[in-house]
Amino acid sequence: MAGNGGGGGRRHCSGVLESLEDCFTGFLIVLLEWHAQVRRRLLPLLRRQRMALLAAPAVAAVLLLTWAAYGEAQYVLYKDATKPVEARVGDLLARMTLAEKIGQMTQIERQVASPQVLKDYFIGSLLSGGGSVPRKQATAAEWVSMVSDFQKGSLSTRLGIPMIYGIDAVHGHNNVYGATIFPHNVALGATRQANQQTKPAAQDSQASISLIGSSVLFILLSRDPNLVKRIGAATALEVRATGIQYAFAPCIAVCRDPRWGRCYESYSEDHRIVQAMTELIPGLQGDVPANFTSGMPYLAGKNNVAACAKHFVGDGGTQNGVNEDNTIIDRRGLMTIHMPAYLNALQKGVSTVMISYSSWNGIKMHANHDLVTRYLKDRLNFKGFTISDWEGIDRITTPAGSNYSYSVQAGVLAGIDMIMVPNNYQSFISILTSHVNNGIIPMSRIDDAVTRILRVKFTMGLFENPMPDTSMADQLGKKEHRDLAREAVRKSLVLLKNGKTSDKPMLPLSKKAPKILVAGSHADNLGYQCGGWTIEWQGDTGRITVGTTILDAVKAAVDPSTTVVFAENPDADFVKNGGFSYAIVVVGEHPYTETKGDSLNLTIPDPGPSTVATVCGAVQCATVLISGRPVVVQPFLGAMDALVAAWLPGTEGQGVTDVLFGDYGFTGKLPRTWFKSVDQLPMNYGDAHYDPLFPLGFGLTTQPRTY
């Protein structure tokens, strides 16, 4: 066992982790203790003349035997970084009590945690829920200090097993003030590799539909996975800058209905795009070696973080897009639409898989032994750990938490290894302990869960480097990361309309127009621009973090001689009499997350529609739409001269103006079908009733303007 053992206040040396000085000190203490015993036992013999010549060899022999026995007794295999991970896992598991094992399976929220709680309950993991921070606008140093204090509590336990800290870093390190906020996944699904060539997109969306045969569609679906990989690497550095080692990303849901409130967390309705975007995983974790075994967890080094593929499985296919609801589909449909990206994730060494709140044909995924254990673990050979969603096991029952004892039993037996409790950890630990002691849950299931958790921790190098690296603070919001986010924004913009006739395009805009109007609720609102999962769980309004609004970007982009006027919701007379060369109208959805984003009508809130009608009715206008999904636009489309789907671009608004003003051309392609009416939903490419306003893969192009 690690730590103190034996009597007499003796300092022990493992021969692996302690310094040479400590080892030598321990040896001297042992030698002094041995000397006293030898003097007491052998002195009478040494007094005899005939033993005098034998004294020195006898002393040496006893000394060697004592030191050998001491070293053998104190060697701790699991602390030896030169040993194979599986050997270290087995050695540590054999030393653990039931309480220590169950502690490893428990993840709790930072607000109910303390170093003493981690020590007393052997807690294996902490997390920050959305908006859970050390303080508002906390610095990287403050995050590091908090994580360090918690880790010291874990390391003070009998076996010194480090905890792992998780956070939702789903479009950058989005809970942390000053971090780079990248476009949400739906936007990244619109990006396209620059070296790909396609036929010129038609100005009329109906004409474009006829272009999309199988070969052309394949080209249009080819996205930019390298960009996503670079975003993953930048995100990992920013997460590590705050001392955190585990990101709950990527979401590899295949959203089949935009009415779902989490649709912006999905890269596309097409599983092939989602599969390509699993390149975020090697961005976060590092590239697996050539001889890598699919299903094993992997982490390259201290600049990387453990990734989490979520939410297993079918969360994007619920009826009518209702969050956490039931996905009704046969097994073949589940396997061909919703499962493929998980195979890619396992091939890339994803460390963990989060289970979905949703059900498949009426069976809660958090209680689905067939898919979690028999398929994911046994058939796909996943060797990392599975983790529940926030209070996910509670929601096995209706109402949630109504039979928590059953929920613990069902969730753990289904194959969930770590439970995101996150608050009522004492009850969870007590119930799970009782289930094991009463034979309801076998020890083999507990050992399997803990083996997987320890495997990930050893693979991450947490036992060798448990404490945060204080030298990484400058990675948070780094200029190179913001430049990358700006690149992602400009590549993700999809041009849906350009001119009221095909021979008179409006875009790109002139930087030297005498006077331009910028209007709309989203033009100067960084919170709206970033969307949900930004600083707060549900997102927020205003300048909630460090970044550049679209209005800021317009002012920076135009010629110094150009006058930029901002009016959030101007009246018709103001627009008509303002002498504007053109207007940029920025409107869209308000931030939302999860169930609060479920929508049956998919309309943009007031005064968005009226602002579009007023401004576009009086002056040539380009509308920039900020939304996490396709929304109703057909009633206003005729009034607009240009329409740009900007999705939820994040903190770098210059990426929008880079393309509006022609420094770069439009290249983005729709990752989702854009409907005419919500009555058509769900409607995905390939459906028999496919009749969209803009089809999957649609996007007009422009060439950069030479100034």
Q: What is the CATH number of the domain that holds 491?
A: 3.40.50.1700
As a whole-number percent, the residues of the chain with pLDDT over 90 amount to: 84
Distances (CA, A) of 20 to 14, 27, 76, 81, 290: 11, 10, 16, 17, 37
Residue 17 binned pLDDT confidence (cut-offs 50, 70, 90): very low
- 182, with CB counted inside 10 A (0-12, 13-18, 19+), is buried
The catalytically annotated residue of 389, 540, 589, 652 is: 389
Sequence-ordered list of residues with C-beta below 8 angstroms from that of 167, at least 6 positions apart, any chain: 127, 128, 173, 175, 239, 244, 246, 247, 248
Same domain, 467 and 530: no
| 8 A C-beta contact, residue 419 and residue 435 | no
Which range is least confidently modeled, 103-117, 131-145, 185-199, 400-414? 185-199
- Residue 201 inside a domain? The answer is no
Q: What is the pLDDT of residue 194?
A: 57
Reference 480, options 252, 272, 237; nearest CA is 237
Please tell me whether residues 274 and 170 are part of one structural domain. yes
In terms of residue numbers, what domain contains 223? 90-195+212-473
CATH assignment at residue 235: 3.20.20.300
- The single residue of 238, 594, 652, 658 carrying the catalytic annotation is 594
Residue with tokens 């919703």: 338
Domain membership of residue 624 (yes or no) is yes
Residue 567 falls within a domain, yes or no?
A: yes
**What Cα–Cα distance (Å) separates residue 640 from each residue in 503, 577, 585, 610?**
16, 19, 10, 13
pLDDT (tens digit per residue) in 613-626: 999 999 999 999 99
Give the per-residue pLDDT at 222.
Answer: 59
Residue 23 has pLDDT above 70, yes or no: no
Q: Structure tokens of 445?
A: 């299931």
123 and 268 co-located in one domain: yes
Quick: pLDDT tens for 314-367: 999 999 999 999 999 999 999 999 999 999 999 999 999 999 999 999 999 999
- Domain end position, chosen among 473, 500, 523: 473
Task: Mark whether 61 and 101 lie in a shared domain.
Answer: no
Average pLDDT over residues 572-593: 99
Average pLDDT over residues 15-42: 43
Tell whether 175 and 37 lie within a shared domain. Answer: no
Whether 389 is catalytic: yes
pLDDT (mean) for 559-566: 99
Mean pLDDT, residues 137-158: 99
Residues 449 and 504 in one domain: no
Evaluate if residue 376 carries a pLDDT over 70.
yes
Q: How confident is the model at residue 8 (pLDDT cuts 50, 70, 90)?
A: very low
pLDDT of 55 strictly over 60 = no
- Domain count across the chain: 3
Same domain membership, residue 73 and residue 98 = no
Confidence of residue 502 (pLDDT cuts 50, 70, 90): confident
* Same-domain pairing of 409 and 504: no
Q: Which of 418, 451, 473 is the last residue of a domain?
A: 473
Q: Tens of pLDDT along 635-649?
A: 999 999 999 999 999
Instruction: Output 506 or 63, whichever has higher pLDDT.
Output: 506
pLDDT band at 72 (very low <50, low <70, confident <90, very high): low
Residue 694 domain flag: no
Residue 511 is assigned to a structural domain of this protein = yes
In this structure, are 365 and 216 located in the same domain?
yes
Q: Could you please report the per-residue DSSP string of 270-321?
A: SHHHHHHGGGHHHHHH-PPPTTPPTTS-----TT--B-EEEEETTGGG-GGG
φ/ψ (deg, to 5) at 621: -140, 145
Asked whether residue 478 is domain-assigned, the answer is no
Percentage with pLDDT > 70 across the chain: 85
d(CA 506, CA 495): 11
Domain co-membership, 54 together with 175: no
pLDDT band at residue 54, thresholds of 50, 70 and 90? Answer: very low
Q: Please indicate whether residue 594 is annotated as part of the active site.
A: yes
Say how many C-beta atoms besides its own lie within 10 A of residue 219's C-beta: 15
| Within-domain flag for 584 | yes
Mean pLDDT of the chain: 90
- Partners of 167 in beta bridges: 128, 247
149 and 251 together in one domain: yes
pLDDT of residue 676: 98
Q: Output the pLDDT for position 203.
A: 38
**Together in a domain, 501 and 597:** yes
Enter the tokens of residue 688. 């028999």
The answer on pLDDT for 419 being more than 50 is yes
In a domain, 617, yes or no: yes
pTM for the full model?
Answer: 0.89
Query: How far, in Å, are 205, 500, 561, 635, 702 from residue 211 at the CA level?
Result: 10, 21, 43, 25, 18
